[in-house]
Amino acid sequence: TALISSRLTDPSRSRECPIADPMPVAAGMPSARACPAAHQLPMPSLSSQHLRPAFGPVSWRRRCGVSLLRAQNERQDRSPGSKSPVATLQDQLKSSLQGKRQQSAPGRRPSPPPPPPEKEPGTYGPLDLRAYLQPWDVPWGLGETALGLVSWSLTFAATGLFSVTLLRWTLGSSVGSLPMDVKALFILLNQMLGTGVTLGLLWLFTRRHTPLPADLFSIDPRAPFRPSDGWLLWALVGIALSPLVVIASATAAAAIWGSAPSDARGTVDSISQLINVDGSTRAALLTTTAILAPVLEESVFRGFLLPSLTRVLPVPLAVLASSAAFGLIHLTPRDFPQLTALGILMGFTYVRTRNLLTPILIHGAWNGGVLSILYAIAAGGGDVQELLRSGL
């Protein structure tokens, strides 16, 4: 020690470490033989003046060790957020010790592997039933859902009352006393007003939660025939199944509750008196029933109510509840089973595609198809009113 300290305390040799290329034992740690130049040092005389610096602030261990670590760190080109070699080695040792403790802990089972991530609705196969069990990520709660439905119901009723009042004030007559063509035009204008008010109310309600998830109120015309979620493909499937679903529900309802009374009103009774009219009235009725009504009703019951209910209910129960509300809102007890069954079909196709174009197209095709059949019966000389009274 005295020999090394005498050379290191020399001002001409104490400014830097004599080692040019250190050989570390471990990453970030200097070699135990820190200074090979010490073997070449001459033998000075032993004195207290030479011994003190060996244990003072300029000792060879401190000077050579700091120089080695600084030189090694400067040679590494690491990112600003990376750890030093010493810290990396410490982290590896800690993780190894923790793993050994967990393995050696008595009676402790290893943690199960994490579950696989859930698939997006569009990644399921055509026959994969898991696609019908995925809820929506709705940013509002059940209370806001109920408030939105009540607000829409009151607004829709107020819109109809306003239209009737405006008609009476401008023309001085009621809707029932209007000619057939004027009545069809009034129904079209009233439906246009109600659809616009409904869409505006939904926009005002949801704008506080923007940006909305991509599968809420989605109308996307891309990939119409994709097997997993093609909106046109599944709409065609729904259109093909609609007659079977409606006939099956009507048959089951008749078997359970019996036949409906002949004076019970259905959904087509309000327009059946407008069947035997000209082409302009037919176009107005088709626009009302096959375009505007599906857009309004599917935006409310499939676009808003169904995803909102999946926040508190499983998806199949949410489809059933929204379909029952869809049947009740028509205020036609005779057609409630058929409307509910049709709503279930449109609900599950919407769950599959997450695209409002699918239920709108199914709904419009059903309404337009029924109206076209009635026109064909009337054109063939049949009595539409008598057919409806007989339970058609």
Polymer length of the chain: 392
| 95 within a domain of the structure (yes/no) | no
CA distances, 150 to each of 26, 147, 175, 208, 387 (Å)? 73, 5, 26, 18, 36
Phi and psi torsions of 123, nearest 5°: -100, 0
Q: Is the pLDDT of residue 107 over 90?
A: no
Pair of tokens at residue 326: 């869809």
Mean of all residue pLDDT scores within the chain: 77
What pLDDT, on the 0 to 100 scale, is given for residue 221?
94
Task: Compare 165 and 364 and report the one with higher pLDDT.
Answer: 364
200 domain-assigned: yes
| Mean pLDDT, residues 1-5 taken together | 52
Confidence of residue 84 (pLDDT cuts 50, 70, 90): low
Q: Is the pLDDT of residue 124 over 50?
A: yes
Q: What are phi and psi of 26, to 5 degrees?
A: -130, 165
CA distances from 214 to 129, 222, 355 (A): 22, 14, 10
CA gap 209, 136 in Å, rounded: 14
222: helix, strand or coil:
coil
**Can you tell me which residue has the tokens 């505007």?**
292
Q: Which range marks the domain in which residue 181 is found?
A: 134-390
Dist. CA 124–CA 134, nearest whole Å:
11
Q: Is 53 within 8 Å of 59 (Cβ atoms)? A: yes
How far is Cα 388 from Cα 392, in angstroms, rounded to an integer?
A: 5
Write down the pLDDT at residue 169: 86
pLDDT at 309: 96
Does the pLDDT value for residue 50 go beyond 60? no
pLDDT band at 86 (very low <50, low <70, confident <90, very high): low
Looking at the structure of the chain, the number of domains it has is: 1
Q: Which of 17-31, 184-198, 373-387 has the lowest mean pLDDT?
A: 17-31
- Mean pLDDT is lowest, of 27-36, 115-124, 223-232, 291-300, for 27-36
**Helical (H) or strand (E) element with 272:** helix 269-272
**% of the chain surpassing 70 pLDDT:** 66
Please state the rounded mean pLDDT for residues 109-129.
Answer: 60
Q: What is the pLDDT of residues 242-269, one digit of tens each?
A: 999 999 999 999 898 877 665 667 777 7
State the amino acid at position 17 in one-letter form: C
Structure tokens at 21: 């290329």
Distance separating alpha carbons of residues 307 and 318, to the nearest angstrom? 8
Alpha carbon distances (Å) from 79 to 27, 42, 70, 74, 255: 17, 44, 17, 12, 77
Question: So what's the pLDDT on residue 34?
Answer: 45
Amino acid 376: pLDDT? 85
C-alpha atoms less than 13 angstroms from C-alpha of 293 in its C-beta half-sphere: 20
Of 293 and 78, which is predicted with more confidence? 293
Q: Is the pLDDT of residue 64 over 70?
A: no
Higher-pLDDT residue of 79, 245 = 245
Residue 115: pLDDT over 90: no
Residue 115 vs residue 205, higher pLDDT = 205
Q: pLDDT tens, 300-309?
A: 999 999 999 9
Residue 275: its pLDDT value, please?
76
Task: Compute CA 127 distance to the chain's CA centroid, rounded to the nearest angstrom.
Answer: 21
Phi/psi of residue 133, nearest 5 degrees? -120, 5
270 pLDDT band (50/70/90 cuts)? confident
Q: Once rounded to an integer, what is the mean pLDDT over residues 126-150?
A: 90
Place 116 in a pLDDT band, splitting at 50, 70 and 90: very low
Does 370 fall in a domain?
yes
User: Does the structure show a pLDDT above 60 at 146?
Assistant: yes
Cα–Cα distance measured from residue 273 to residue 385, given in angstroms and rounded to the nearest whole number: 8
The set of residues, in sequence order, having a beta carbon less than 8 Å from that of 282 and lying 6+ positions away, is: 375
| 98 band by pLDDT with thresholds 50, 70 and 90 | low
Higher pLDDT, 296 or 122: 296
